[in-house]
Structure 1
Amino acid sequence: MSKNYTLKTRNVSFNQTNLVKHFQSIRDNAEQNLGGIVTNADDILDLKDFLSCFYSGRDELKQHFDLDNCEFYVDYPPKEIRNRNSKKMFLY
Protein backbone atom coordinates (compact mmCIF):
# COMPACT_ATOMS: atom_id res chain seq x y z
CA MET A 1 0.00 0.00 0.00
CA SER A 2 1.29 3.46 -0.90
CA LYS A 3 1.95 5.95 1.86
CA ASN A 4 -0.22 9.07 1.96
CA TYR A 5 1.20 12.52 2.60
CA THR A 6 -0.93 15.38 3.88
CA LEU A 7 0.48 18.86 3.42
CA LYS A 8 -1.05 20.55 6.43
CA THR A 9 -1.18 24.22 5.47
CA ARG A 10 -3.42 23.68 2.46
CA ASN A 11 -4.82 20.39 3.80
CA VAL A 12 -4.13 18.50 0.57
CA SER A 13 -3.22 14.80 0.46
CA PHE A 14 -1.23 12.82 -2.07
CA ASN A 15 -0.17 9.22 -2.40
CA GLN A 16 3.55 8.83 -3.03
CA THR A 17 3.23 8.68 -6.82
CA ASN A 18 1.08 11.81 -7.02
CA LEU A 19 3.31 13.67 -4.56
CA VAL A 20 6.30 13.05 -6.81
CA LYS A 21 4.27 14.27 -9.81
CA HIS A 22 3.23 17.36 -7.84
CA PHE A 23 6.83 18.24 -7.02
CA GLN A 24 7.87 17.58 -10.62
CA SER A 25 5.21 20.05 -11.68
CA ILE A 26 6.56 22.61 -9.19
CA ARG A 27 10.04 22.06 -10.63
CA ASP A 28 8.83 22.34 -14.22
CA ASN A 29 6.95 25.57 -13.50
CA ALA A 30 9.90 27.11 -11.66
CA GLU A 31 12.29 26.26 -14.49
CA GLN A 32 10.20 28.56 -16.69
CA ASN A 33 10.81 31.51 -14.34
CA LEU A 34 13.83 33.77 -14.46
CA GLY A 35 16.50 32.20 -12.26
CA GLY A 36 14.41 29.09 -11.58
CA ILE A 37 12.58 30.70 -8.67
CA VAL A 38 9.42 29.13 -7.29
CA THR A 39 6.81 31.91 -7.36
CA ASN A 40 3.46 30.18 -6.93
CA ALA A 41 2.27 30.78 -3.35
CA ASP A 42 0.63 27.34 -3.03
CA ASP A 43 3.77 25.64 -4.30
CA ILE A 44 5.86 27.46 -1.71
CA LEU A 45 3.48 26.38 1.06
CA ASP A 46 3.63 22.78 -0.14
CA LEU A 47 7.43 22.83 -0.23
CA LYS A 48 7.62 24.26 3.28
CA ASP A 49 5.20 21.64 4.62
CA PHE A 50 7.03 18.77 2.98
CA LEU A 51 10.44 19.93 4.14
CA SER A 52 9.34 20.59 7.71
CA CYS A 53 7.26 17.40 8.14
CA PHE A 54 8.48 14.65 5.82
CA TYR A 55 12.03 15.43 4.66
CA SER A 56 14.49 13.03 6.32
CA GLY A 57 16.97 15.84 7.09
CA ARG A 58 14.33 18.23 8.43
CA ASP A 59 15.97 18.77 11.83
CA GLU A 60 19.30 19.79 10.34
CA LEU A 61 17.54 21.81 7.66
CA LYS A 62 15.63 23.80 10.29
CA GLN A 63 18.90 24.57 12.08
CA HIS A 64 20.34 26.20 8.96
CA PHE A 65 17.34 27.68 7.19
CA ASP A 66 14.30 29.69 8.21
CA LEU A 67 11.75 28.23 5.81
CA ASP A 68 9.35 31.11 6.44
CA ASN A 69 11.91 33.64 5.25
CA CYS A 70 13.64 32.03 2.31
CA GLU A 71 13.17 31.75 -1.41
CA PHE A 72 12.94 28.45 -3.27
CA TYR A 73 14.86 27.83 -6.49
CA VAL A 74 15.23 24.97 -8.91
CA ASP A 75 18.83 24.45 -9.91
CA TYR A 76 21.51 21.84 -10.36
CA PRO A 77 23.22 21.11 -7.05
CA PRO A 78 26.37 23.10 -6.36
CA LYS A 79 29.54 21.07 -5.92
CA GLU A 80 29.85 22.56 -2.49
CA ILE A 81 27.43 24.48 -0.32
CA ARG A 82 29.57 27.38 0.80
CA ASN A 83 27.20 29.50 2.84
CA ARG A 84 24.90 27.62 5.20
CA ASN A 85 23.40 30.96 6.33
CA SER A 86 22.00 31.63 2.89
CA LYS A 87 18.29 32.38 2.63
CA LYS A 88 18.00 30.41 -0.61
CA MET A 89 16.67 26.87 -0.75
CA PHE A 90 17.54 24.80 -3.80
CA LEU A 91 15.46 21.86 -5.02
CA TYR A 92 17.62 19.25 -6.70
Structure 2
Amino acid sequence: MGADEGVLSVGAAHGGLGLRAGALHGRAREWHRNGQLAEDGEYEYGITLWAKQWDENGVLEEDYTLTESESDHRTLLHFRALHGGASWP
Protein backbone atom coordinates (compact mmCIF):
# COMPACT_ATOMS: atom_id res chain seq x y z
CA MET A 1 0.00 0.00 0.00
CA GLY A 2 1.08 3.55 -0.57
CA ALA A 3 -0.15 7.12 -0.54
CA ASP A 4 -1.49 6.68 -4.06
CA GLU A 5 -3.94 4.10 -2.71
CA GLY A 6 -5.37 6.40 -0.06
CA VAL A 7 -3.02 5.43 2.76
CA LEU A 8 -1.04 7.80 4.98
CA SER A 9 2.29 6.54 6.30
CA VAL A 10 3.26 7.49 9.84
CA GLY A 11 5.85 5.97 12.20
CA ALA A 12 4.42 5.05 15.58
CA ALA A 13 5.68 6.29 18.92
CA HIS A 14 5.99 2.76 20.34
CA GLY A 15 9.75 2.35 20.21
CA GLY A 16 9.93 4.55 17.14
CA LEU A 17 10.62 3.60 13.59
CA GLY A 18 14.16 3.83 12.34
CA LEU A 19 16.00 3.07 9.17
CA ARG A 20 19.46 1.71 8.69
CA ALA A 21 20.76 1.21 5.15
CA GLY A 22 17.14 1.40 4.02
CA ALA A 23 15.99 -1.34 6.42
CA LEU A 24 12.99 -0.78 8.69
CA HIS A 25 13.71 -1.15 12.39
CA GLY A 26 10.98 -0.58 14.97
CA ARG A 27 7.23 -0.25 14.84
CA ALA A 28 5.39 1.24 11.88
CA ARG A 29 1.76 2.15 11.33
CA GLU A 30 -0.16 3.42 8.33
CA TRP A 31 -3.67 4.85 8.24
CA HIS A 32 -6.30 5.02 5.54
CA ARG A 33 -7.31 8.57 4.58
CA ASN A 34 -10.56 8.06 6.53
CA GLY A 35 -8.51 7.67 9.74
CA GLN A 36 -8.90 3.89 9.98
CA LEU A 37 -5.70 1.99 10.78
CA ALA A 38 -4.48 0.31 7.58
CA GLU A 39 -1.28 -1.43 8.69
CA ASP A 40 0.55 -2.06 11.95
CA GLY A 41 3.76 -4.00 12.28
CA GLU A 42 7.14 -4.37 13.91
CA TYR A 43 10.41 -4.74 12.05
CA GLU A 44 13.92 -5.65 13.11
CA TYR A 45 16.91 -5.33 10.79
CA GLY A 46 14.45 -5.06 7.90
CA ILE A 47 12.68 -8.31 8.81
CA THR A 48 8.96 -8.29 9.58
CA LEU A 49 8.39 -9.69 13.07
CA TRP A 50 4.62 -9.29 12.82
CA ALA A 51 2.24 -7.27 10.69
CA LYS A 52 -1.50 -6.77 10.28
CA GLN A 53 -3.47 -5.09 7.50
CA TRP A 54 -7.05 -3.82 7.59
CA ASP A 55 -9.34 -2.49 4.88
CA GLU A 56 -10.95 0.97 5.00
CA ASN A 57 -13.79 -0.42 7.13
CA GLY A 58 -11.52 -1.93 9.78
CA VAL A 59 -11.85 -5.53 8.56
CA LEU A 60 -8.64 -7.50 9.16
CA GLU A 61 -7.29 -8.69 5.79
CA GLU A 62 -3.86 -10.06 6.73
CA ASP A 63 -2.27 -11.21 9.98
CA TYR A 64 1.38 -12.32 9.81
CA THR A 65 3.80 -13.44 12.52
CA LEU A 66 7.35 -14.58 11.81
CA THR A 67 7.84 -18.23 12.77
CA GLU A 68 11.00 -20.11 13.69
CA SER A 69 10.67 -22.31 10.59
CA GLU A 70 11.09 -19.37 8.18
CA SER A 71 14.46 -18.48 6.69
CA ASP A 72 13.98 -14.87 7.82
CA HIS A 73 14.03 -16.11 11.43
CA ARG A 74 17.50 -17.57 10.94
CA THR A 75 18.60 -14.31 9.29
CA LEU A 76 17.19 -12.34 12.23
CA LEU A 77 19.14 -14.46 14.73
CA HIS A 78 22.28 -13.90 12.66
CA PHE A 79 21.80 -10.10 12.68
CA ARG A 80 21.10 -10.13 16.42
CA ALA A 81 24.31 -12.07 17.05
CA LEU A 82 26.31 -9.68 14.86
CA HIS A 83 24.87 -6.54 16.40
CA GLY A 84 24.58 -7.61 20.04
CA GLY A 85 20.84 -8.05 20.39
CA ALA A 86 17.56 -6.68 19.13
CA SER A 87 18.72 -3.06 18.81
CA TRP A 88 20.92 -1.26 16.36
CA PRO A 89 24.42 -0.71 17.73
Q: TM-score, normalised by structure 2?
A: 0.28
* Higher strand fraction (1 or 2): 2
Larger Rg: 2
More helix per residue: 1
Give the TM-score, by structure 1 length: 0.27
